[in-house]
Every structure is written in C-alpha cells, then in structure tokens.
Amino acid sequence: MDISNAALIVIDMQNGFVNHHSRDAVPAVRDLVARWFAADRPVIFTRYFNYPDSPYERFFRWERLQQPPETDIVPDLAEAAVHAHAVIDKTGYTLFTPDAAALIRQAGWTDLVFCGIATESCVLKSAADAFEHGYAPWIVTDASASDAGPDVHDAGLVVARRLIGTGQLVTSNHVMGQLAACVRTTVLE
C-alpha cells in the first residue's frame, strides 16, 4: 500500500444504512478517519441518494434513502465529512461518478482505501471499479459492514478476493501501521 499516495474513501456511512447489522462499523470507521486526518491524508465521503423510478425502486421495490435524515451522514462522522477533501453524491453503487473520477485523476492518487457500508454492494463495486481504472484498491475488512448482516458482509469479501485480489483486503491495524510509518517518515525528512 502506497499510503503516501492514497485517499481514504468512506462509503455511504448514512443513517439509512446503519442498523443492528452494520452499527459496529461506525466506531471502526470513525477511528480510521480520525487517524487518517491526523496523518494529514485526504478523506473522501460518499453519499447515496435514491430517487423516484430508480432501478432500486423498479427492480427491488426499495424506496428508502431519498430524503434526510436517512441520507444524512451518521452523527459520529458528520463533522469529519464537513472537513473531508470532498463529499461525492451518487445515485448508484460506485464511487466512480464523473466528478469523482476527475477528482481522483487530478489528485494523482494511486491507492484508494475503502471502508463503509455495504461491503457486498457499494464498497465492492467501488473497489472493483478502482481496480479496472488502474488504481490499487484496498478494502478495510473490519471497517466495512453490510446492513443485510454478517453473512452478506462475508460473501462480499469472498467476491472481493476474486475481483481485486486477496492481498487487497486489509485490517484497520494494517492501515494504522502504514499511517504511522508514513508519519514517521515525514517527520524524519
């Protein structure tokens, strides 16, 4: 992981996605974001917005996440989102909207470190798209969750291993170690 050339991507940490299955990811993401900010590294948040007659409504009959408070970033991360490098609004699974793709390209980041909700959909799709766009995608497994439950989270990780590589799945401790090493290197320079 090239932490010196990486951005942390916080996927859809919104009220409407946090439930009894996914709430344990909130403190893990909060801690990761705080450490990332402390290392003076860029953080990007995404927010998903559903809309009338969306594919989610048509094919899943799913009408949620159309208005606040469901669309709001969870209170534990709301202040961090205000200070983020960017907040990307999207209407589909992936981070890679035209605005986000341009931002990532212009910033010159080579590594994108993903955390958030939901592992099997928005986190996975964003990481797979990063892979296909030539970036090094990383999924922080213990700072990601599924609002559909731990079995679905685990299934998302199985598919991620097949799509982006087993070595691209890391823990918060691994990322924190990389951040600490980056800070030490910067101090020594």
Digit-coded pLDDT (tens) for 40-64: 999 999 999 999 899 999 999 888 8
pLDDT at 125 over 70: yes
- Residue 143 has a pLDDT of 98
Digit-coded pLDDT (tens) for 71-119: 999 999 999 999 999 999 999 999 999 999 999 999 999 999 999 999 9
C-alpha of 179 from chain center: 17
Domains and CATH numbers, the chain: 3-188 (3.40.50.850)
- Residue 184 has a pLDDT of 57
Q: What is the 3-state secondary structure (H, E, C) of the chain?
A: CCHHHEEEEEECCEHHHCCCCCCCHHHHHHHHHHHHHHCCCCEEEEEECCCCCCHHHHHHCCCCCCCCCCCCECHHHHHHHHCCCEEEEECCCCCCCHHHHHHHHHHCCCEEEEEEECHHHHHHHHHHHHHHCCCEEEEEEEEEECCCCHHHHHHHHHHHHHHHCHHHEECHHHHHHHHHHHHHHHHHC
Q: What is the pTM of this model?
A: 0.94
The mean pLDDT value for 121-138 works out to 97
pLDDT at 32 over 60: yes
